[in-house]
Amino acid sequence: MMDLKNKRVLVVGLGKSGLSAAMFLRGQGAQVTVSDARSAVALEKEIPALLEAGVMVEAGGHGLLTFRRQDLIVVSPGVPLDTPEVKQAVAFGLPVIGELELASRYLLGQVVAITGSNGKTTTTTLVGKIFQDAGVPTLVGGNIGLPVIDLVAESRADTTSVLEVSSFQLETVEEFKPKIAVVLNITPDHLDRHGSFEAYAAAKTRITERQGPEDFLVLNAEDKPTQMVAAKTKAQIYWFSGRRPIKQGVFVHGESILFIAREGDKPEPVMPVSEISLKGAHNIENVLAAVCVARLAGIPAEKIRASVASFKAVEHRLEFVAKIDDVEYYNDSKATNVDATMKAVASFDGGIHLILGGKDKDSDYSQMAELLRERVKVVYTIGSAAEKIEHQLRGVVKMMSAETLQAAVRDAAAGAVAGDVVLLAPACSSFDQFENYEHRGRVFRELVTALSSERATT
């Protein structure tokens, strides 16, 4: 733990985690200032509580002098490290950390940390459920919605904190040391922020940087970039695979999920694959990772089996919304990159009406061409990335420019026939037209629900 009493601390970025960090730091006796590029009007909901707590607020931009006059700078995940003021602070030798690193220095008990380009939220939620069902005192947070700093007050020596961690959070870790770390997959994402795939993969790898031989690292045996993380850890490595037997970890053999605790041990049956209720091969991988974590934590196979069998899809992740006139509607608003969209499309045999678009993240949509040609009837483009998507997929599949999500749902409903699927899996972030992917997913559900009511009355 750090002694923060009377220390000057600057929190950069007033998102959910920034607000929580500022309040926590104030509670530790620090002299806290928050700095955000947004205007005071845009921050009118947050500012009164901060001022009441004795936190100084700088809005409408970052002052260079504000950054220099600090003992510690805490950067929110949404703030790029190449922001000029942050770069200058680093150049001056000021300590710069993120909210995850700050929280990790105060969090009691053991930590399970889960990262990956796709599947983080589903796997984190499932691991949390397995632990809770088994009677383990469990806290769940991180990139999944509840800032890690908010878990500190509830944590105890016997607590396990199950954390979803993003590349943005991992960029600023120093001493963060999970007992069990998981890297589900590494596929191109956030290249607009990280600059290159190599830099993005390096950020993900930092999850295991401080782990030692007493810790565990769970990796995807079928994902080449993830396999490369194995060379950069001192932790004990456990693999998961849905395709072949492995020597240590979790794999599918026939119709069963098996676990091998130590290389050379006899495989231990955990559960039949048929009991997984989640749709898609990618979700089998998520379950395998969760099973591996739970067994490493000593949770018995029969308890894991019961938890997995009763687990339902997390909202906005290939979430079934409704069946209208024998057409199924699925909300995968969390598919914010090309790989996630491909996994969603691959979960259906065909007849897909796919809604694509939003804010581009320097993605290559042409990677989807073959899969879309096989399974998708029509693509409906929305948002600022629409023109790029249409250019890169021209001639591959029928495309309709819908511009808005409302128009896309309306057009897809008009074009779909019995047995088809309408799928929101945008391959883009949501920030051009929505607050976040959850907001986009909620709007999609509302539009489908309204459509269902409309069809029922006609």
Number of domains in the chain: 3
What would you report as the CA-atom Rg of the chain, rounded to the nearest whole angstrom? 23
304 and 362 within one domain: no
pLDDT tens per residue across span 173-225:
999 999 999 999 998 666 666 678 888 899 999 999 999 999 999 999 999 99
Long-range contacts from 376-380, C-beta under 8 angstroms, 24+ separation = 376/345, 376/350, 376/352, 377/350, 377/351, 377/352, 377/353, 377/415, 377/420, 378/353, 378/354, 378/412, 378/415, 379/354, 379/355, 380/353, 380/354, 380/355, 380/356, 380/407, 380/408, 380/411, 380/412
291 and 155 within one domain: yes
Residue 2 lies in a domain: no
Query: For position 252, what pLDDT does the model report?
Result: 96
377 and 231 within one domain: no
420 and 272 within one domain: no
- Asked whether the predicted pLDDT for residue 126 surpasses 90, the reply is yes
Confidence of residue 402 (pLDDT cuts 50, 70, 90): very high
Q: Which residues contact 153 (CB under 8 A, 6 or more apart)?
A: none
277 and 182 within one domain: yes
- Asked whether the predicted pLDDT for residue 458 surpasses 70, the reply is no
382 and 295 within one domain: no
CA dihedral defined by 394, 398, 402, 406, rounded to 10 degrees? -140
Q: What percent of the chain has pLDDT over 90?
A: 82
291 and 145 within one domain: yes
Mean pLDDT over 90-97 rounds to: 92
194 and 70 within one domain: no
Domain of 211, CATH number, reads 3.40.1190.10
* C-alpha closest to that of 105 among 33, 161, 177: 177
Query: For position 189, what pLDDT does the model report?
Result: 66
Question: What is the spatial order of strands in the sheet that 180-183 belongs to?
Answer: 138-142, 160-164, 110-115, 180-183, 216-220, 236-241, 249-253, 256-260, 268-272
332 and 285 within one domain: no
Q: Identify the domain boundary among 252, 284, 309.
A: 309
Q: Whole-prediction pTM value?
A: 0.80
Residue 314 lies in a domain: no
Domain of 64, CATH number, reads 3.40.50.720
Mean pLDDT over 403-422 rounds to: 97
CA dihedral defined by 170, 176, 178, 181, rounded to 10 degrees? 20
Q: Which domain holds residue 60?
A: 8-94
Give catalytic residue positions. Answer: 120, 143, 190
73 and 140 within one domain: no
Query: For position 145, what pLDDT does the model report?
Result: 77
Q: Identify the domain boundary among 53, 70, 94.
A: 94
Tokens of 189: 């994402």
Place of tokens 């589900």: 184
pLDDT tens per residue across span 286-340:
999 999 999 999 999 999 999 999 998 777 888 999 999 999 999 999 999 999 9
Q: Identify the domain boundary among 94, 129, 144.
A: 94
